[in-house]
């Protein structure tokens, strides 16, 4: 309850009137037997569902999530850790970030942890997932939407509710422990069996699971909040006969931009407006993906990743038009997106270059020659105990010490492979100075986002170190993260211990975790 009343007073001022009531959410992390693509397997879930239940809050509403770890299945990790992707925690609450071994230790089985999330000024489309190892691949992922009562785009759409959240994700029929063993043995990144739209998919040779249905009414305009909850695959989204107008990317409003299809990298979100202005009927919502060689996994068939876009009054049947991969042209170009509110471009105080290199034939990725390995003691705890300089961390912790209140630039040089690594920065957003799919730089009016594609013709980002503490900066292809494609951006370790206000519950996490036998970790 720290600073609770001060915070409430702040929110009251911010909202001008209404008292912001705390939104209480309980997440029971449980194993469940599910068959998203028709193949039944044991999973790790929030409240027994895949995807997990949506967490819906209003701007500035304090969120309190009670997470009860009830995992029992020994074929998957039994500890866990909840991350709210893209949410800023600020200097005081950076310990709630829950990046294992950076901000906190994981939560063991039969334990409960309460996350107090000060939602501040952020609005838009986010998601939550397990941040421990690659556990979210086993199912623990779901949406987090922060509604803005004064949304500047509100005149562009009529409908924005729980039914307009669209979640796409890759799905594996095997649990992650054997997948990881095989990855380590071969260096081949696991290839998904299927793609799911709102938790439903099909695999080649599998049963004809009824497609997910997105229901619309003719004449209305819908704000779809599309979340890529994938751990590897890139999805290309389109709706037959319908345009999509992008109005926000990763929780940051953009100027409206109309496209016919868009690529989304893991962890990315786009809010789009779609007008239901065609004849009443059934249309395909195409969500084909690319991710690994289908020859490695014959279940994989990108064409089977789709849903039905159905008008009220249409027969409850599949569209009769061919299943395509979407239109050939009209793709969203990230560099064409502009912020709704013009942003001042940041001038770098510190500039770094990150070279990403894979060790051929191994499950190992390096940033500037270093493959990240989690330490046993979280970075934040080391900082609280007095670590202030690079020499206080093992080289393999890949920890970059940064000054507070400065602008950091990171340049990713062009690469000659065709990997796109969706780099995700915790705790802050990045200005996209150069997008990987454009040769141009934007030093006038760049968009800001918390996941940016790295690869291709090169990427340049800048961010302001306006929170202190350690922030994970990693590839959101969690297989690559596991293989070391990660770093810690440690802002102002001298002031961090004064600014952060850890709780006894947080202090108890590491002793409890370290005392667990390895199979329960």
Task: List interacting residues with ligand NAG (CB under 6 A).
Answer: 109-110, 168, 204, 228, 230, 232-235, 237, 263-266, 268, 289-291, 301, 303-304, 323, 373, 375, 394-396, 404-405, 422, 438-439, 457, 477, 492, 495, 520
Q: Which of 202, 223, 299, 421 binds Cu ion (CB under 5 A)?
A: 421
Q: Provide the minimum distance between the beta carbon of 346 and Cu ion in the complex, in angstroms, as a whole number.
A: 25
Shorter beta-carbon distance to Cu ion: residue 304 or 367: 367
Of 422-481, which residues contact Cu ion (CB under 5 A)?
475, 477, 480
| Strand partners for 291 | none
Q: Both ends of the chain: CA-CA distance in Å?
A: 29
Closest CA to 241 of 310, 195, 336: 310
Shorter beta-carbon distance to Cu ion: residue 87 or 454: 454
Residue 512 binds what, of Cu ion, ligand NAG, none (CB under 5 to 8 Å, by partner type)?
Answer: none
Shorter beta-carbon distance to ligand NAG: residue 16 or 511: 511
Token readout for 424 is: 């995700």
Q: Provide the minimum distance between the beta carbon of 167 and ligand NAG in the complex, in angstroms, as a whole number.
A: 10
Burial class (CB in 10 A: 0-12, 13-18, 19+), 294: middle
Shorter beta-carbon distance to ligand NAG: residue 49 or 499: 499
Do the beta carbons of residue 251 and residue 86 sit within 8 Å?
A: yes
Closest CA to 305 of 324, 282, 289, 283: 289
Shorter beta-carbon distance to ligand NAG: residue 48 or 109: 109
Residue 370 binds what, of Cu ion, ligand NAG, none (CB under 5 to 8 Å, by partner type)?
Answer: none
Shorter beta-carbon distance to Cu ion: residue 119 or 475: 475
Residue 480 binds what, of ligand NAG, Cu ion, none (CB under 5 to 8 Å, by partner type)?
Answer: Cu ion
Q: Using the rule CB under 5 A, is 234 a contact of Cu ion?
A: no
Shorter beta-carbon distance to Cu ion: residue 310 or 481: 481
What span, in angstroms and rounded, lies between the C-alpha atoms of 521 and 518?
Answer: 5
With CB under 5 A as the rule, give the number of residues binding Cu ion.
4
Do the beta carbons of residue 69 and residue 76 sit within 8 Å?
A: no
Residue 405 binds what, of Cu ion, ligand NAG, none (CB under 5 to 8 Å, by partner type)?
Answer: ligand NAG
Residue 395 binds what, of Cu ion, ligand NAG, none (CB under 5 to 8 Å, by partner type)?
Answer: ligand NAG
Do the beta carbons of residue 433 and residue 462 sit within 8 Å?
A: yes
Q: Provide the minimum distance between the beta carbon of 356 and Cu ion in the complex, in angstroms, as a whole number.
A: 8
Q: Provide the minimum distance between the beta carbon of 224 and ligand NAG in the complex, in angstroms, as a whole number.
A: 12
Q: Provide the minimum distance between the beta carbon of 364 and Cu ion in the complex, in angstroms, as a whole number.
A: 12
Q: In sequence order, which residues have a C-beta less than 8 Å from that of residue 484 and are 6 or more positions away?
A: 364, 365, 366, 367, 370, 371, 372, 373
Shorter beta-carbon distance to ligand NAG: residue 168 or 209: 168
Closest CA to 488 of 432, 426, 403: 426
Q: Provide the minimum distance between the beta carbon of 15 and Cu ion in the complex, in angstroms, as a whole number.
A: 40
| Strand partners for 410 | 352, 461
Residue 293 binds what, of Cu ion, ligand NAG, none (CB under 5 to 8 Å, by partner type)?
Answer: none
Q: In sequence order, which residues have a C-beta less than 8 Å from that of residue 387 and are 6 or more positions away?
A: 379, 393, 493
Torsion sign across C-alpha atoms 274, 275, 278, 281: positive
Residue 25 binds what, of Cu ion, ligand NAG, none (CB under 5 to 8 Å, by partner type)?
Answer: none
Burial 469-496 (b: 16+ CB within 10 A, else e): bbbbbbbbbbbbbbbbbbbbbbbbbeeb
Residue 475 binds what, of Cu ion, ligand NAG, none (CB under 5 to 8 Å, by partner type)?
Answer: Cu ion
What span, in angstroms and rounded, lies between the C-alpha atoms of 78 and 44?
Answer: 9
Burial 393-411 (b: 16+ CB within 10 A, else e): beeebbbbbbebebbbbbb
Shorter beta-carbon distance to ligand NAG: residue 243 or 495: 495
DSSP, collapsed to helix, strand or coil, labels residue 246 as: strand
Q: Which residue ranges make up the site for Cu ion (CB under 5 A)?
A: 421, 475, 477, 480
């Amino acid at each position: 309850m720290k600073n609770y009343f001060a915070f409430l007073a702040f929110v009251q001022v911010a909202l001008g009137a209404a008292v912001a009531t705390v939104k209480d959410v309980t997440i029971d992390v449980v194993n469940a037997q599910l068959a998203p693509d028709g193949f039944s397997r044991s999973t790790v879930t929030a409240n027994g569902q895949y995807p997990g239940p949506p967490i819906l809050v209003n701007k500035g509403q304090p969120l309190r999530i009670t997470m009860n770890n009830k995992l029992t299945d020994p074929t998957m990790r039994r500890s866990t850790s909840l991350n709210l992707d893209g949410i800023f925690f600020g200097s005081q609450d950076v310990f709630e970030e829950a990046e294992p071994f950076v901000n906190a230790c994981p939560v063991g089985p039969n334990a409960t942890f309460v996350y107090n999330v000060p939602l501040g000024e952020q609005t838009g489309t986010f998601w939550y997932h397990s941040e421990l190892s690659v556990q979210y691949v086993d199912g623990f992922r779901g949406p987090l939407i922060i509604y803005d009562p004064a949304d500047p785009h509100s005149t562009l759409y009529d409908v924005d509710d729980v039914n307009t959240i669209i979640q796409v994700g890759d799905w594996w029929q095997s649990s992650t422990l054997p997948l990881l063993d095989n990855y380590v043995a071969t260096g081949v990144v696991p290839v998904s069996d299927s793609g799911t739209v709102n938790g439903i998919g099909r695999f080649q040779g599998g049963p004809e699971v009824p497609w997910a249905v997105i229901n619309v009414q003719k004449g209305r305009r819908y704000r779809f909040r599309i979340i890529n909850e994938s751990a590897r695959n890139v999805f290309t989204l389109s709706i037959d006969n319908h345009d999509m107008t992008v109005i926000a990317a990763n929780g940051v409003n953009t100027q409206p931009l109309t496209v016919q299809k868009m690529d989304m990298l893991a962890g990315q979100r786009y809010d789009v407006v779609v007008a239901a202005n065609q004849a009443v009927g059934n249309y395909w919502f195409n969500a084909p993906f690319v991710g690994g060689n289908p020859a490695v996994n014959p279940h994989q068939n990108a064409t089977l990743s789709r849903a039905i876009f159905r008008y009220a009054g249409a027969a409850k049947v599949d569209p009769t038009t061919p299943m395509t991969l979407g239109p050939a042209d009209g793709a969203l170009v990230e560099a064409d997106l502009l912020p709704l509110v013009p942003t001042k471009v940041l001038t770098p105080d510190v500039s770094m270059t990150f070279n990403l290199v894979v060790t051929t034939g191994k499950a190992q990725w390096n940033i500037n020659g270093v493959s990240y390995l989690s330490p046993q003691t979280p970075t934040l705890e080391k900082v609280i105990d007095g670590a202030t300089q690079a020499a206080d961390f093992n080289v393999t912790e890949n920890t970059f010490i940064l000054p507070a209140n400065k602008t950091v630039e990171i340049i990713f040089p062009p690469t000659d492979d065709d990997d796109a690594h969706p780099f995700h920065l915790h705790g802050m957003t990045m200005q996209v100075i150069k997008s990987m799919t454009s040769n141009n730089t934007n030093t006038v009016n760049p968009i800001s986002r918390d996941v940016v594609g790295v690869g291709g013709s090169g990427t340049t980002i800048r961010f302001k170190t306006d929170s202190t503490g350690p922030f994970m900066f990693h590839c959101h292809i969690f297989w690559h993260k596991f293989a070391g494609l990660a770093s810690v951006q440690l802002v102002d370790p001298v002031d961090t211990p004064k600014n952060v206000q850890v709780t006894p519950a947080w202090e108890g996490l590491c002793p409890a975790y370290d005392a667990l036998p390895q199979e329960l970790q």
